[in-house]
Amino acid sequence: MAASPHFRPESSALVLIDHQVGTIQLIQNEITPDIAIRNAVLLGEAALAYEMPIVMTSSQEDHVQGPLHPALQKALPEAYAARVKRAGIVNAWTDLNFVKAIEKTGRRQLIMAAVTTDICLVFPAISAVEAGYEVLAVMDACGTDTQIGEEMSRRRMERAGVWLTSTNTMVAELVQDWSTPPGILLVQAMTAISPMLPVDWIRA
């Protein structure tokens, strides 16, 4: 494992795997489906703010997994239109079209999120590390149906060299300075997710 990597906009690509309307209903660990989707959208907004490449993929959209979530379709229309539609391959990294899409970005740092953690994320994240990429898994934009499945996947990824983080930490790492135009935009998006007291009321 590399020592303390810093993921930067100019060297990173965002990879969103299988945030589909069917699969997200399986999320039952400490993350809810709504939180996972909101965070995936926020990651997408951060990628757009810094003009980072975005790779999206789905599995068997015409089956129980369903289409990619409408919120992602709306927030990331170009990435959605260019998504890699897998016929049923479990490990997205073994899909040649997916790997080609990753290689096309020209980036060696991959910021990944997927549903579910224990199937859709763990395998491509580890495979990407084996292929020489640095991988950061954003755990609150993921989720699975059991806490043990989530925990075992996290342990396995860490042992294989995948870095784990949360959405807010990832966004802050990309921003570095909230006073920049992207920083102003993204801090507003972050604070819009959680209820907050009015600033005027706090100052009073």
Q: Before 57, cis peptide (omega within 30)? A: no
Q: Annotated catalytic residue: which of 37, 75, 76, 120? A: 120
Q: How far apart are CA 40 and CA 15, in angstroms?
A: 10
Q: Which residue has the tokens 């925990």?
A: 151
- What tokens appear for 20 in the block? 């589909």
Q: Count CA atoms within 13 Å of residue 38 on its CB side.
A: 14
Radius of gyration, alpha carbons of the chain: 16
Q: Contact 190/42 with Cβ under 8 angstroms? A: yes
Could you give the angle at the alpha carbon of 157 between the alpha carbons of 115 and 176, nearest 5°? 80
**Of the candidates 68, 74, 75, which has an alpha carbon nearest to the alpha carbon of residue 44?**
75
Residue 142 is among the residues annotated as catalytic for this protein: no
Strand pairing of 12-17 and 134-138?
unpaired
SS3 (DSSP) at 204: coil
The answer to whether residues 93 and 125 touch, using CB atoms and an 8 Å cutoff, is no
Question: Catalytic site residues?
Answer: 120
